[in-house]
Structure 1
Amino acid sequence: MATIKDSDKKEKLLTQLKTIKGHIGGIEKMIEDDKECTELLIQVLAIKSSINKVGLSLIKDNACRCILQSIDEGDEIEDTINEVVTAALKFSK
């Protein structure tokens, strides 16, 4: 599997992860402040959605780069596609 080479994509992912980290800190504070469970769950769902967006972005970017790299290097494309699909399936569980 490949690494993230595009600096814009890398920066966007890091920004998303920092935002998620901030939301987690907010939930911790909400728990300390005895906020209602429904309020906590709304924030947890927002984090879950954000994490899914990060994961899907990584899967998409990785799939494109790995497949193109395999074509360029003359590797067995079927093996690469199987690796990409396996990674996507693991994420979707």
Structure 2
Amino acid sequence: MSDSKHRHHHHHSEEHRREVSNRLARAIGHLQKVKQMVDDDEDCSDVLIQLAAVKSAINNTGKVILKDHMEHCIVHAVEDGDTEMIDELNAAIDKFMK
């Protein structure tokens, strides 16, 4: 999360919020499965494969959020001459890509 107090001037669609929420719920479910596998002392290779699925789910969710942000938030920011939001996006991408 950003330390900035910057606010959006629009709202995300219910469909977008639902898609992101569903993706996060699936990632949480995968991660709970990985934890159970560790607790059950399952094979390390199988745990790593499932953990890779969690990473992929999180990364894909980030891509969905980023795409929506660029298509809506950044478009509005450019229209409004709001360079602060572009700076915030760059900072968020840097953190997401680490």
TM-score after normalising by structure 1 = 0.81
1:88 maps to what in 2? 93
Which residue of the other structure, out of 8, 30, 40, is the alignment partner of 2:15? 8
Structure 2: how far apart are the matches of 1:57 and 1:5? 12
Confirm whether residue 43 of structure 1 aligns to residue 32 of structure 2. Answer: no
Aligned length in residues: 91
CA contact (8 A) 2:74 2:86 kept: yes
Runs of 4+ deviating beyond 6 Å: none
CA contact (8 A) 1:20 1:47 kept: yes
Q: What is the alpha-carbon root mean square deviation over aligned residues?
A: 2.0
Which residue of the other structure, out of 77, 82, 91, is the alignment partner of 1:70? 77
TM-score after normalising by structure 2 = 0.77
